[in-house]
Every structure is written in C-alpha cells, then in structure tokens.
Amino acid sequence: MRLVAACLALVCLAAPAGAQQPAQVPHTQFQVKQSFAPLVQRVTPAVVNVYASRIEKQTRNPLMEDPFFRRFFGGPDSAPQERVQRSLGSGVIVDPAGFVVTNNHVIENMTDVRVSLADRREFGADIVLRDTRSDLAVLRIKGGSGFPTLELGDSDALEVGDLVLAVGNPFGVGQTVTSGIISAVARTHVGATDYQFFIQTDAAINPGNSGGALVSSTGQLIGVNTAIFSQSGGSHGIGFAIPSNMVRVVVASAKAGAKVVRRPWFGARMQPVSSDLVESVGLDRPVGALIASVVEKGPAAEAGLKPGDVVLAIDGQEVDDAEAFGFRFATKPTGGEATLTVLRGGRKTTAKVRLAPAPETRPRDSLMLRGRWPLAGLTVANLSPALAEEIGMDYPGDGVVVTDVAAGTPAQELGLRKGDMVLRVDDEAVATTRALDALAKPRNYYWKLSIRRQGEVVTTVVGG
C-alpha cells in the first residue's frame, strides 16, 4: 500500500503545472483520514441564513360588530390582530457587492428579509429578482461590501460519484456542513420547478437547507439545494439541487437590473420519445426530444424544424429527453444561434436556431373578473409568447389565459387555475380579456364554459 501511495505521489509531481488531475479514490488509511476542514473554512463564510417574514392582519369576526356578542365574547381583544408569518432558509453570496441567491419558495410572499452571515453579522436584504419557473430568487444585502463569495462552477462537468458538500441551516440549528457524492445528474420528474433537471446527492439535506450551497471538492458552487425525497420530513439520502448553470442565468439577469428572466424561446412543443415511437423515428433506444408541434413564425419554424423531428443534441451536448432539452435551451444566453443535431426520417442533420426571447405580440390588458358568475375571482390576460414563457406553458396561439385565482371565489370553487385558457362562454369565442369581461351578465339558468388545460379542452355546464 505504501508503494502504491508513493507511486501516486510521483505521478502528481510529474504532472505539468496547471493540468487538471483526474479524481482519485483513496488508496491508503492516511488518505481516508484526510479532512474537508480546509475546504469548509474556505466556503462557509459565503453561505448565509435567510430569515423572511410578513405581517398578516386578521380581520374582525363580523359577529363582533353586534354589541351583544362583543360584550360576552369580544372584550378588549376584539380589535383586528396582527400575525407574523415566517420562513427560514439558506442562501449563497455570489458577488462581493452582496448579491445572494436562494430559493424563491424561501421568500415567496414575504416582505421583510434578513440574512445572517457565518461570522454572526446580520443585515437586511432587498428582493432583487424572483424567478418562479426555476424556484430561484436573488437578494441584495443592504449596506457593507467586500462580502465573501462562492464562484459558480460548471454543473455540466459533474459526474456521478464526485464528492460534494452541502452547506445550510437545517431546522434552524445553525450553519451545518454535510458530505456525500453526486448520486445522479439530469434527474427529472422531481416536480419542484418548471425545469426538471436536477443534481441528486446523498449529502444530508433537511428543511432549512433550501437555498443553501452544494459545493464541489474544488470549492465551487455547483448547485442550490432545493428539495428532498422524504416520507418523514428528514433526510433519507435523496436530495436535489438546481444546477449552477441555471443559477448563473438568474444571477446575471438580477445583476443586469432585469425584473424578469428573459430566456430564449424555441417556439415548439416537445415530448419524450417513448419506447413505442423508437422504431418509427429511426432510433434504437428512447433518447432525444420529439417535436410535437411548431409555432408559426417562431424560431423553430424559421430554422426549418417540423413535427416529428427528434432533437438529439444542442451545441454538441446530448439531449436525453424533453426535460433535458428544455433545461439546456433555457440556459443558453439570448442573442446568436444554437446548433441543434436533429434526426429526421432516420437521417441526422443540423439546424441553426435563433436565440431570442419570446415576443410580446399584443398588450396583456390584465384584469380581474367580478360579478355574479362562475369566473368571478379570475385574473386574466391576453396571451402572447412572452406571457406563456413567464408562466411556464405552451403557446397554442392567441387567447385569454388565467394568471391568478383569488381564494374563496366562485372561480376557485370551480377548480380553475393559473395557465388555464378560457376559450368559449355559451359558445361565444373569447379573443380578449375585455370580450370575456363583457360576457359577465347575470342570468338565472346556466353557463356553458370551454376551458383549455395542458392541451386538453374541457366543456362544462355550471348552474347560474
């Protein structure tokens, strides 16, 4: 064993300066006992605890307006009370000016945010950008400068088996470091964000770790911890992190002053290549992303792509499925072109696709529907490619889309939700939000509604 260790040392010494050494498995007891402490000391100052809160006013019970009830049940406490809603998570400083990346769900609906550094300094923080599609948010620390940072690594360079550290604030006990390996890359069907493309690790991740750092053995941020698979609420060795290449896109948008992350728009609906389709598309196994439909005049159409084409790679990076295509295309910078490797009719070809954000083809004209009818409580807008991208839905063409549903309203009771399209009311086609609002007339019989949800059209009759 000593001879092996000596040979390894000689190989390392003989390597040219600056050459990247391949990962090594420990061969000796001495190597097994090596400590992560120097790496931990270097990375933990850049990982912060995130405390978010908002004040909710509890409205007075209407019965308390009656002097009788107020006398016997109300007393001095019958006035509206305030309740503080709190959230706890972690974050990573990615710029010396105080930019912090965390999970959007950590600060969602919150108004007051504070961060606590490893050295126990505390600062207020502004919410600079929220990106619900990736479940990422960017904060900026108020006051101070020259903060410790973590450099963003290349998540596409990760391999299963690489050593990693997870750093965060689980259960609010304080900054905690756990170690493990990359268990899987490009993990899909996790359900935490619109972009189903996660790093899986067995490093212990628990509630409170959300927004914390997944760090490579070289001390780079290669993921933001965001979800766990658990039946008890604790760690079972299956944790998921958003890859750093998606983090890079969101952070760059925030530092540029953008309020919305603008990603390239492909202009086509993708689906996986199922085992039933393998032979018909000319493959020997189910890989790639199948183009199901193409938006007229969109980038895919301009590139000559057609339904039935299978995308196998983007700029040389292989595409395993439709989810992988969505992630890789979304992390491309706008401007320029991407080269797609495409299988058509059993033959490989290439296509140049323009990397441009989705256009705002018409005014949104957003409004909330009111009145005595089943759609009361909906906030709707005129759909365009840009709006479809923002809310994470396919663009089927112009129409009216639901962007919000108010709680406790007829629309919520009917089961309507964000992303639904209102196609017809009593067989009258709906083209704009104003046209839909004009159909809100009281009636005593029924309403006939046609709703499109995820490509399916449902027509229902609701009593008036």
User: Which residues are tagged catalytic?
Assistant: 105, 135, 210
Number of helices followed by number of strands (H, E) in the chain: 12, 25
**Radius of gyration, CA atoms only, the chain:** 26
Q: What does each C-alpha distance from 446 to 259, 378, 443, 461, 464 come to in angstroms?
A: 42, 19, 7, 7, 4
Those residues with Cβ within 8 angstroms of residue 65's Cβ, 6 or more apart along the chain or in another chain: none
Give the whole-angstrom CA distance, residue 272 versus residue 267: 17
Q: What does each C-alpha distance from 204 to 45, 175, 342, 397 come to in angstroms?
A: 20, 13, 40, 45
Helices (H), 161-289: 244-255, 278-281
Q: Is 158 helix (H, G, I), strand (E, B) or coil?
A: coil
User: For residues 377 and 412, is the Cβ–Cβ distance under 8 A?
Assistant: yes
User: For residues 352 and 427, is the Cβ–Cβ distance under 8 A?
Assistant: no
User: For residues 301 and 285, is the Cβ–Cβ distance under 8 A?
Assistant: no
Q: Is 173 helix (H, G, I), strand (E, B) or coil?
A: coil
Q: Which two tokens stand for residue 245?
A: 């290449």
Residue 388's nearest CA partner among 371, 403, 370 is 403
